[in-house]
Amino acid sequence: MTTLKTISHDRKGFALPEFLAYASISRAVRPYRRARRFALGLVIPDWNYKTSYLKAALAIVNPDSEYRFDDQAKIFDGSRSDDTHGSIMDMLLNDQSIILFRPSEAVPSDLRLGLDAIIELSTPDTRRVQGVVYWAYGIQVPEAQARALVRTDWQRLKLAMARGRPISRVLSVIEKMAQAETPEQKPDRDPEALSHIRLEDMQGYGEAKAWGLDLACDLTDWRAGTLSWDDVDRGVLLSGPPGVGKTIFARALAISCGVKLIIGSYAKWQAKGYLNDFLKAMQRSFQEAKQSAPAILFIDEIDAFGSREDATGSNASYDIKAINGLLEQLDGIEGREGVIVVAASNHPEMVDPAIIRSGRLDRHVRIPLPNLHARAAIFRLHLRESMAEQDYRVFAELSEGASGADIQRTVRNARRRARRLRRAITFDDVRCHLPISVRIPPEALRVNAVHEIGHAVVGSILGMPLVGVELTTNVLATAGNQSVGKAIFERQPWVRRNKDHYLDIIAMTLAGMAAEEVLLGSHDDGSSGGRGSDLYDATRTVIAIERSHGMGRGLASFGDLSDQPINEISHMDPALLARVDATLQEQFRRTKSIVEEHRAVCESLVDLLVDQLKLSGQEVLDALDEDRDASPRALGSG
């Protein structure tokens, strides 16, 4: 075996792409250099460059010859005839052999038995490019030129180096081409930072990252034949607020797993035309995933399918058939090895229950907004490590509540400003595009604490499992309505949802207002307003009791009214709002009495929350246990 130092600089048929491929392969097979016999499978990062990797592999096994030895290095293409498969089986009988596989290729079990190892090659980064160019051509490459080389297609690079053109001229031409690209031609995203990022290098994904890394390990074991496909997760639902990076997560997951990524969505499939065209387009995506196995099929915004239970109006038949078609495709991959379906949703509660049942998308993983540490890491990624570490920390502190997409947009705007000024991006470029962060004054912070402790205490008294309660210390001056605190309760999927259950939900929802009334003398407008406010949500729940669930004055159900304006609903039943208001008033009185009964512990918890900004559910329960007068109320009682 050889190292990069011993291969000839003027090896026939070699240009910079081949030297880059050679460096990647040489590094990967280093543990086998001293072995007289070996058979290795190499998964190359880009199938378009397979010819360059093949030349490099031949140079590895035949360092002293410039002739092609087809019996020692080959490309495996599962879509070709069995002749290729047979010739590779024969090649494994040689002393040394290398087989190249595409990223999405499943290694046949009989070939796997004949290989000492299957190694995934990494994409050359700027550091490797600089080292290879210096070794091959004796030139120190600045980082800007190295980044341009990383982004350059290898076929274009070979054309630029044709007819013995000096490498210094080639580098200059490539850098000018990169600089000359218009904003329409040149994306603001850094291909090196985003297109090739691995899940291992991502921050802020919590449980989703842990699941993805476990999946990558499972796929490695499955490829090696040590794990049954029955033991591999085949479907997951990712949920989270818009902009948290669900699509970027899917791309990084595919790279870490070494599999092909196929992307589909309701909108993409529906764009094909009528229902029949929609179903065919969806079927093609699933079929492509099966043919490319192992592969990940990413279905974006799966909540757009809706639920068959909520399908109403003239489009109901279309929606139901679309969901049935999706279920049929999900069932069709159950027995097909190598296909993982990853679906994303901003509103998981809107997904048809059949889609997430066992055997389909039976795992649900939530992706939260990035915390302080994760925001700093995201700024570092998009700024390509061009600033000091303390700068990323400052940006993170000033962007509380921002999603990954928000941060990317901020950096994109900062780069645009720097381009207009014809200079490199600076701290001030980023700072001026960050929203102004305003610290919440102490008196307002205490009001927020009273409100959230009201939710936490009343919910806990009514038997709802409290996860925790927390406050936000800063808000963005340029943004609209923002969350300044939250009480988080664990969802109970098997709780009996009768009328008492819904009355408890209404009481807990009104508890923030009630705590303000009891502890502060009155409530402000923070609990009222449109969709998402406490009073709006409580009103909607009462309407559902009256008009959907048959738990009010009558049994008639008008289906799901969640998207219908309240004034339209009241036109259908003029007496409805009076009944709704009566229920709200009754539950508000009930909630205030609970807060009054536990006033002392509420005030103590408010002080603690203002001081610590975050309390666990157990801390709240412990405080209630210490309050000797605390006694749970009968569910739904007035």
Per-residue pLDDT reduced to its tens digit, 516-567: 999 999 998 877 766 668 998 899 899 889 888 888 888 877 766 655 556 5
pLDDT at 596: 95
Place of tokens 């009891």: 518
Question: Which residue, 555, 425, 567, is CA-closest to 499?
Answer: 555
β-sheet bridge partners, residue 587? none
Residue/partner pairs of 130-136 with CB below 8 Å, 24 or more apart: 131/23, 132/4, 132/16, 132/19, 132/20, 132/23, 133/16, 133/167, 133/171, 135/4, 135/5, 135/19, 136/9, 136/16, 136/19, 136/167
Question: Which residue, 136, 195, 153, 149, is CA-closest to 176?
Answer: 149
Q: What's the chain's Rg over C-alpha atoms?
A: 30
pLDDT at 554: 83
pLDDT at 197: 82
Residues 6+ apart with CB under 8 A from 290: 333, 336, 338, 339
Contact 339, 381 (CB under 8 A): no
User: What residue type is 326 in one-letter code?
Assistant: L
pLDDT at 467: 92
Distance CA 261, CA 255 (A): 8
DSSP for 83-130 reads HHHHHHHHHTTSSEEEEEE-TTPPPPHHHHHH-SEEEEPPPP-HHHHH
* 3-class secondary structure, 43: strand
Residues 6+ apart with CB under 8 A from 638: 586, 589, 590
Catalogue all structural domains in the chain, each as residue range(s) with its CATH number: 16-120 (3.40.50), 126-186 (no CATH), 195-366 (3.40.50.300), 372-434 (1.10.8.60), 442-626 (1.20.58.760)
Residue 111, both tokens: 């070939």
β-sheet bridge partners, residue 345? 239
Question: Which residue, 252, 308, 319, is CA-closest to 279?
Answer: 319
Cα–Cα–Cα angle for 135, 141, 147, nearest 5°? 115
Distance CA 240, CA 195 (A): 22
**Taking the C-alpha atoms of 328, 329, 330 and 334 in order, what is their torsion angle to the nearest 10 degrees?**
100
Contact 131, 23 (CB under 8 A): yes
Q: Could you tell me the CA-to-CA distances from 228 to 104, 112, 117, 482 in Å, in that order?
A: 19, 15, 19, 47
Tell me which residues of the chain have a pLDDT lower than 70: 1-10, 33, 64-71, 77-90, 92, 103-110, 113, 159, 162-165, 173, 175-195, 271-273, 309-315, 334-335, 437, 476-482, 529-532, 559-573, 628-638
User: What residue type is 628 in one-letter code?
Assistant: R
pLDDT tens digits for range 136-173 = 878 888 877 888 888 787 877 776 775 556 777 777 76
Question: Which residue, 481, 479, 106, is CA-closest to 294?
Answer: 106
Distance CA 485, CA 469 (A): 8
DSSP for 304-371 reads GG--GGG--STTHHHHHHHHHHHHHHHHHTTTSTTEEEEEEES-GGGS-GGGGSTTSS-EEEE-PPP-
pLDDT at 66: 53
Distance CA 282, CA 291 (A): 14
pLDDT tens digits for range 347-369 = 888 888 889 888 888 889 988 88
Contact 252, 199 (CB under 8 A): yes
Distance CA 33, CA 35 (A): 6
H/E run at residue 474: strand 474-476
pLDDT at 637: 43
